[in-house]
Amino acid sequence: MSLTREDVTYVANLARLEFSDDEVTALADQLGAVLDYAQTLSELDTKEVKATEHVLQLKNVFREDVVKPCLTNEQALANAPDSEAGCFKVPRVME
Amino acid sequence: MELNQKTIHEINDLLKKKEVTVTEVTQSVINRIDGVEGSTDAYLRLQSEEALNLARIVDEKLKARKKISPLEGIPYGLKDNLCTQGILTTCASKMLYNFNPPYNAHVYNLLIEEGGILLGKTNMDEFAMGSSTENSAYKVTKNPWDLNKVPGGSSGGSAVAVASDTAFFTLGSDTGGSIRQPASFCGVVGMKPTYGLVSRYGLVAFASSLDQIGPFTKDVEDCALVLNAIVGHDEKDSTSLNIEKKDYTKNLKQGVKGLKIGVAQAFFGEGLQPEVRKSLEDAIAVYKAMGAEIVDVSFQYLDYALSAYYLISSAEASSNLARYDGIRYGFRAEEYDGLVDLYRKTRSQGFGEEVKRRIMLGTHALSSGYYDAYYKKAMQVRTLIKDDFDQVFKGCDVLLTPTSPTTAFGIGEKTNNPLEMYLTDIYTVPVNIAGIPGISIPCGLDQVGMPIGMQLLGPVLSEKTILKAAWAFENETNYKNLKAPLGREV
């Protein structure tokens, strides 16, 4: 089951990526090949198998709600491409 | 022998005896960097001045003191996905070209406390995605055994720095083999510890359920020393194991008499280079001669590991890399029309080809209608593979396998065929899927003189057994003394 150009464009939108026509064609081929390879998984009957999200049997890690040092506003904004008045600045979202 | 060619424990002995100073040691490595870095491109950023300044400070401290800790005054490098406050951390991506982390990775803080001397940040595949370090947005690192070949990846720069004596040790990260495969390609020791043993705090995330930090060193004893320094519980990583600390150098030299070493046909399949197979057979004979018991073990589901790995890792990556949106840090596209277009343009221009490919694969695997067929299926297969390993380790203490089916390949040889590149990880990814530890150590050279690596695997938290088995082989054979020919008098 290979990937169509439409599939690629649909997924690109979900991932907030854009590609040229040539890139879409190449991706359809390359991802298609990887997915074909991964098709072997469907040979396995896993109806009764539990999924392992994580190899450790993780439990929630709790701690007392105590204030600890954290980044200052200045540090948090230091890497921002654009900021103003102590906030990250983004293009207008609402008209 | 130049100081830079020595191991950590040798330098530590010399420092203890006051026969050398940290400044001399550091200068020796910097001289070596000046001599070979132009050919290898192992580092993305160097800070030689800062390293020398720190060396002088450590020398002052040592004057007044008899005791010295194992990594004190030892120059090292860090993979560029480990956060270093005040030193750019780019993950070899244009996306983080100007990122100056506001905090340090936990492992970096531990090494600062130990008194280590940071030389610089090493090159890697962008966001640790790749098997050759060719996916760096900045430079292609070359293998010091043959400059036309890749060093492996994704921690290629870290492997090359150790192999070419431009660091005594380095740290890398291993999501599907990114420490062990380049260690194998470059003829050095590389270890991926049990998942959760080393804190991932400050490691830029690729696939959180698989990522683990580990060392590259010149020999197994050094590996144990670095492990001693970086292992430990950290409350800032919720997956960090809260267990008692061990001394990994203890009982290291005990030998392998009576140790059960498993060999599985599944790791000697199609596509295995004949010289790699031969070296592994020789290694098995060496272990037998040392009194280890060789046992045949078998896997049921190993053939499915690579597919499961690429689906799980890409799915997690697509989620982890959603944070790169051009708002809070890193690159932002110059021209865009509105917020969504800002995201799109920033991500399309900021990420390289392979990273975008993985994000696409992962997004597809998680998307509506495909989730059960791909992502959920892969996680179920993960259970089967984990159970497979559990079963195998009932019959043996460690498992001996090749690290990679081949020795290092040529630069540019596999860049146009992602699937072929992915297949180079076939013997390393099952380890991350199961969360178990593994080490790669040198075990021979192929016909054209490229290093061959063998992998020793064990159950969860069996690092000491693995190191013991690795040390025994290393010291029974002469492979550790083979040096990359780069810039050396023959």
Domain boundaries in chain A? Answer: 5-43
Residue B233, number of CB atoms within 10 A of its CB: 14
Which domains does chain B possess?
3-259 (3.90.1300.10)
Query: Which residue in the block uniquely carries the two structure tokens 């100073």?
Result: B21
Q: Which residues of A touch B301 (CB under 8 A)?
A: 44
More confident call, A57 vs B330: B330
Task: Enter the tokens of residue A35.
Answer: 């997915």
Angstrom distance (rounded) from CA B485 to CA B163? 10
Q: Indicate the DSSP class of residue B459.
A: S
pLDDT tens-place string over residues A11-51: 999 999 999 999 999 999 999 999 999 999 999 999 999 99
pLDDT at B488: 59
Query: From the CA of A73, how many Å to the nearest CA of chain B?
Result: 11
Tell me the shortest Cα–Cα distance from A74 to chain B, in angstroms: 10
Please name the residues between 54 and 93 in chain A that touch chain B, using a CB distance below 8 Å.
Answer: 54-56, 58, 60-61, 63, 71, 75-76, 78-82, 88, 90-93
Low-confidence residues in chain B, pLDDT < 70: 487-490
pLDDT on residue A56:
77
- Among A4, A16, A36, pick the best mutation site for testing chain B contact (most B Cβ within 10 A): A16
CA distance A94 to B296: 66
Closest CA to B382 of B334, B312, B455: B312
Which member of B311, B344, B345 has the closest CB to residue A38?
A: B311
Say which residue the tokens 């089967």 belong to: B384
pLDDT at A53: 81
Q: How far apart are CA B297 and CA B388, in angstroms?
A: 10
A5-43 CATH choice from 1.10.8, 1.10.3470, 3.30.70, 1.10.20 = 1.10.20
Residue B42 CA to residue B36 CA, distance in Å, equals 9
Round to whole Å and give the CA distance between B297 and B261. 9
CA distances from B400 to B16, B292, B396 (A): 36, 12, 10
Q: Does residue A1 have a pLDDT over 60? A: no
Give the pLDDT band of residue A59 (cuts 50, 70, 90): confident
Per CB-CB distance under 8 Å, the chain A contacts of B430 are none
- In the prediction, which pLDDT does B489 show? 43
CA within 13 Å, CB half, B58: 31
What pLDDT does residue B419 have? 85
Task: Compute the Cα dihedral for B61, B66, B69, B72 and give only its sign.
Answer: positive
Instruction: Give chain A positions within 8 Å (CB) of B361.
Output: 31, 34-35
Closest C-alpha to B181, from B482, B424, B430, B435: B424
Please tell me which of the candidates B310, B357, B379 has its beta carbon nearest to residue A52.
B379
B332, B348, B359: residue with CB nearest A18:
B348
d(CA B287, CA B65): 42
Q: How far apart are CA B287 and CA B274, in angstroms?
A: 20
Query: Is the distance from CB of B380 to CB of A50 less than 8 angstroms?
Result: yes
Q: Is residue B321 within 8 Å of residue B360, measured between CB atoms?
A: no
Which candidate, B252, B89, B82, places its Cα nearest to that of B170? B82
Residue with tokens 């490595």: B29
3-class DSSP state of B79: strand
Place of tokens 């010291």: B475
* Cα distance between residue B192 and residue B211, in whole Å: 9
Q: Which residues of B are catalytic?
A: 79, 154, 178
What is the pLDDT at residue B376? 93
Measured between CB atoms, does A6 come within 8 Å of chain B?
no
Contact A71 B418 (CB under 8 A): no
Distance from the A8 Cα atom to the nearest Cα atom in chain B, whole angstroms: 8
